[in-house]
Structure 1
């Protein structure tokens, strides 16, 4: 049947992350540091709000853009937390996870031949979604020596007359890198000079440890040329609920809403109820989870350094990105052998694009005991090489 498939889709490789996830799910004795998912369960009061909603028969469609009260809560949250104002009436769209929001934004913006700038290593979906929309992804390599920040020099060097969109993901998956207000200022100047539109994926905004997250949309002049994407999966341990949102200039959100109407209609009503409860009453639980991640972050970084792997200190998200170059193995070889010989799953860095080779991504969103055992196994594996 492959002959019936669109060539573009046929040629897109499957997710490198899901490949390792499938291998892990087939074995019970593997410690997985692979999938970016909190080990916490969604807080009980959030689940309870969903259950009560179902018991009351709340099973109908919501407005296409999402429940008005949820959009209002999102607007209040973004203004209070990151000083970015959005009108809930027409500048906020509730989506099926942050991934749908990114897809909608790219489909609304990109025409065949447009170049989409993507700082890498990065979340693996940006480039494939760009290609599906007819765009051309252009990777911009970032480096451990810069704490994986996007530098103005690298951005300038990547811009051509065909450049239209810049995708940002800070705090970063997979590196844990962040950008400060001072880091953003020269980037914003370049964005304005070259008339770019920015898709800012801020799904890890609540997961920073030593500095508060700075939204790119909060930089002077950037709000109206930025589509801010976020959601509830990471901060509130709600990955399976698939609840996200996009915010931006009403003309951009209106275009995205048209696509959303014809594809998914609206995000699930019960998930929207749960998301509203998370925003209203979930910050204490969120803070407790972040503090736990912070403890594990320190443990993992020091653990990798103790066994001889260089590891920059992640300032956000819940990933460590240690270098395995000293082992003499490629990222793929290291991850494959680690899985089969030491029963630890990590994701090879090259699946995240430029600059990923020589690293592996390890999620520390798992228990301390599992992390300690994983580091011990990795240390023994390295000593045997």
Structure 2
């Protein structure tokens, strides 16, 4: 039987980032049920670093992660994971209340400026008169970030087993006996970083679920030859009906901002959501669509209060939750991993995350 100090269920951005922190403190194994890590939500994200995205409970994690993504340690990465983008939040005349709520929620926290949206997006239809610019938003190189964490994890002696599903876990007093398709494993601490499968992993481990709900998000790639510039901002509806951003020359990534409940699965886009995305896009700009080149879907996983869940289970102190990151797990990964690692090891929080309050994310709030 293999023995480790810590086993992490899930090899996406959550498991990889936390594994890269914990491997300094002991032997760590990441179990990934798919043939490659990051197959599900991590590999399907339209990732950007945006401080307003996710609300006030997520914003401190995003803000703290910004410097670490922009200026990573040279031993971790050769350069920044961020590239400038900006977000333009737009609305029709009926969107003044949504604009005011956005500004009020993040006053003195995030830089926001009222602008004329037509000045920033050529071809914007005239009814879109409300504009709020969030200038510090950046795109994230998700693949590079995920691979950097896995590289660091392996470099510190961590082991990743792919195509290795956690089938059951039994707490035996001294730790956990975990059955997998590749044999049994024993560990002292089991970390649940399984994304959409987080409640399922808890149940397989005899731990009560906490209500992590997977929600499907649909994305389409459109070829738009009349796209004015690949440097246009991310355009986000103030009333959460869509967002889109250029993806290189003549292409955009677009979502109808859907959140359809789904069982944990290999998510696929539904035609209705694709049609809604295109219809909403055509109501925003007058750019002709030449082709729908790709379509895909991913699962964003939320706790009932939509805040992340980081901490020991109140009834099983050798079971640690690192889940419920919604659509914000990539932009918050550096700070979240440091915070969770400090909780696991009992060390004080590093200065880069000293302002974070771990009580906001404690799973005990959901019991």
Q: TM-score, normalised by structure 1?
A: 0.25
Q: TM-score, normalised by structure 2?
A: 0.26
Which is strand-richer, 1 or 2? 2
